A and B are shown apart, each in its own frame.
Chain A
């Protein structure tokens, strides 16, 4: 299997496992397992993945390129701190013992320790930095990279003694390890994010968080410093490495050259001495032939060649050339002298090496050609280079003038040098050149010595090794330091600033939501203490202002309430002199002012109007609308128009300019107190409760539309005959809709049950009893709606003393008059009034008998009543005769003389003239004639 394919699978395994575990947790019974056990399972699964990473690693230079760390990081970052730690320990321990079956020993400590630390690292990050949530995509890549940098640094740390090997290992696996692990963690995060159906896009925040801002600037600063130091170190180390390489190469050349020279010199002197011993005056040529030397010359004490194997040289003065002059030292103190191989004095085209020894008064000089002396020392020279080293892995080689190798290090072939030759020759002697030998980059330089080319070689890898170690360590350290700083800044800012700001903010939130008693108390440092104090002070001031404002509003509402209540009838009994009815009303606004109202007033002496209404809404606006509605309805009623017309016109007026879109429900009744006939009209109001025949019941009647709701509505008047004792109870929806603490409503059922539970002495008692029951139902719950009640009991005109004559005849007048006079005397009516009333009775009663019944006697009821303000006697005649209104008769002409006058109409005329008021009505088949006489 392709090792990279294997590595790729290992890279993808954590992501695959993450998704599977995620779905298991979400969709299966696995999700219900206890959290601790789950963490254990996650730890074991990812521990196993770490082991797979180890076993499927690609061996490189004695190290395993693998993604063991990625599995551990994924566990810790995505599945929980304990899972990460467990996976780390499993992976680390396995890596330790895996040596037993052939996993690399060299990085054993580094790998095991790193894997365990990866678990704690991920756990710590998840717990302290990500608040137990999964990290972002890019940050997860960074976490993977930092982890691997740590891992690689550990390789250095654990292999200090073999740092050269360590750097080779690190160099070869840095890229694959970082990329592999970083990507693996990142892919896991991406895949799990997709699985959670979250957006991959980073949520763009308009404002960066404090930690992010600081981290960004820190990243910039650290990166800058990092690039600068790294660049500086790189340049410095490069220069130093090159200089060092130069030095190494030069030293190697110098050493070897010295050896060769020394060896050559010794050899030549030995030969020269031997030649000296065999020489006689004439055998120079023979000897030169025998020793195969180029020249043998004898120089006398004056420096002149006096004998030579080469006849042309005879007589040559050694003082003539620089090369030859050097040998003159032998005439002074030296006994031996060997010259370097080079051009000779007489002919610069000839290169020779000379050795001289003192000989008699002068000295003997022997010249050698290169081949001659090299042949003698080749064997020795091979020994010089065979085991010599330049640095650790460099070497020296010797090549003769024809570029034939003389001495090569082991493993190097001649062919390899073919390209090298011209290249280094072009560079010139003692100049370092970079070239390739055996495909390996090398630094090399050469020099010539004794006719040899001497070449020293240092592999480039070795040249850069120190620099590379420095750079790697430098970069790794910078990354680790930044990672630590990054985390530290994050935690520190979070601890010192962000947490405190959050604390302040949560307090501010509570304050904004109305909890003005909240105190901000962050005292970790001076700035926050001052901020807390400022906020608290501001809130205190605010609170004071609010209190003042609310006190002012309270006072104004109180005033408004008083005004509102003052316009409602509030003096009871409202008509203390009236005995024919009892009425009581009361209102309990939910807020200080409400929209409910009631009204009661009389027009004339016999018509009582009473009204209850509920304006939509509560508070000041409702109250203002209510004032208007009340005034308007009363005004219209008092014009004497019919009730339906009152409501129809009222509605039209309310609709005009009703911009606030309020409306009113209202119920008004108008009772003729004499007859008990009640007209009423309902504009969308709750049906009243009517007490008839011993029981309260809802008065189910046609409801009209609400007032002020829609222009042009018309209302229908309805009527009902009240009998003495009947009660009409009006209320607003505040009663049935009163809610208790549990939100239950009072309701109509309870209302009707409670109101029927007893009898009532007075209407005030009825209202009080109901209010008490509503209160006990509501309990502690706040009152939501206004509660208004109006109770009316019709007692009937029968309350006035009366006398009924069943079959009225003229003769009954005396009895009736006697009855009335008796009643009038009881109430202290003066005689004069009594007389006038008596006359009126006579006239009216006789009228009823004569015209009303027309000879068919029927019942006549006469009642007497004393009224106050002004004091007056009211006498009422009720009969069932034909409808006849005597008031419609024409008044008699009283200016006529006796002859012209008729007597008709005179009686009623007298009554009209002597009484203060005479009224007639016909209701329910009854003629009702009422007379009133004021008195003092």
Chain B
């Protein structure tokens, strides 16, 4: 998995490539924990995300909870596989999928 962060002021853009699973989720979690302070808008670009497991969902959920307090979080370019997981797990209602 590769994480590409682009920070523009209070706007943080995170592009995740590869797999967001049990092994890699802690890595994303750490990146977010380190960078979310003062961020008003968090955008995930999942264009190159192959799939996501529940470990990834957990990271997204905790990020969403934080962003609910300090701004907005949007998810871009969700492919069908990932969208299915979001759909199955009810995450489509929690996340703001653009």
A901 in contact with B61 (CB, 8 Å): yes
A811 in contact with B52 (CB, 8 Å): no
Cβ 8 A contact of A838, one of B51, B55, B84, B89: B51
| Most chain B beta carbons < 10 A, residue from A810, A839, A897, A899 | A839
A697 in contact (CB, < 8 A): no
Q: Which residues of A contact B81 (CB under 8 A)?
A: 832, 835-836
A898 in contact with B64 (CB, 8 Å): yes
Q: Which residues of B contact A906 (CB under 8 A)?
A: 54, 57-58, 89
Q: Considering only CB atoms, which chain B residue lies closest to A812 in the complex?
A: B23
Number of interface residues of B (CB under 8 A): 25
B23 in contact with A897 (CB, 8 Å): no
Cβ 8 A contact of A846, one of B22, B50, B88: B22
Complex Cα spacing A894 to B68, Å:
18
A909 in contact (CB, < 8 A): yes
Instruction: Scan residues 42-88 of chain B and give those whose CB is less than 8 A from a CB of chain A.
Output: 50-55, 57-58, 61, 64-65, 68, 80-81, 84-85, 88
Q: Which residues of A contact B84 (CB under 8 A)?
A: 836, 914
B85 in contact with A839 (CB, 8 Å): yes
Q: Which residues of B contact A909 (CB under 8 A)?
A: 54, 88-89
Complex Cα spacing A411 to B21, Å:
174
- Chain B nearest CB from A285 CB (Å) reads 207
Complex Cα spacing A913 to B54, Å:
13
A709 in contact (CB, < 8 A): no
Q: How many A-B residue pairs have CB under 8 A?
A: 80
B13 in contact (CB, < 8 A): no
Complex Cα spacing A523 to B20, Å:
111
B54 in contact with A910 (CB, 8 Å): yes
A444 in contact (CB, < 8 A): no
Instruction: Scan residues 913-931 of chain A and give those whose CB is less than 8 A from a CB of chain B.
Output: 913-914
Complex Cα spacing A43 to B50, Å:
129
A898 in contact with B61 (CB, 8 Å): yes
A910 in contact with B88 (CB, 8 Å): yes
A813 in contact with B85 (CB, 8 Å): no
A814 in contact (CB, < 8 A): yes
B53 in contact with A894 (CB, 8 Å): no
Q: Given A838-B51, A914-B85, are A903 and B68 also a contact pair (CB < 8 Å)? A: no
- Chain B nearest CB from A530 CB (Å) reads 101
B94 in contact with A897 (CB, 8 Å): yes
Q: Considering only CB atoms, which chain A residue lies closest to B57 in the complex?
A: A906
- Chain A nearest CB from B55 CB (Å) reads 7
Cβ 8 A contact of B65, one of A838, A899, A913, A914: A899
- Chain B nearest CB from A97 CB (Å) reads 142
A907 in contact (CB, < 8 A): yes
Q: Considering only CB atoms, which chain A residue lies closest to B50 in the complex?
A: A835
Sample of 14 more A-B contacts, CB < 8 Å, known A842-B54, A906-B54: A835-B51, A839-B21, A842-B23, A842-B53, A842-B55, A895-B90, A898-B64, A903-B61, A906-B57, A910-B53, A910-B54, A910-B89, A913-B88, A914-B85
The 4 closest A-B CB pairs, nearest first, are A894-B90, A907-B54, A903-B58, A913-B88
> What are 14 inter-chain pairs, A to B, with CB distance below 8 A?
A813-B22, A835-B50, A836-B51, A839-B51, A839-B85, A843-B54, A898-B68, A898-B94, A899-B65, A899-B68, A903-B54, A906-B54, A907-B53, A910-B85
Which residues on B are within 8 Å of A, measured CB to CB?
19, 21-23, 50-55, 57-58, 61, 64-65, 68, 80-81, 84-85, 88-90, 93-94
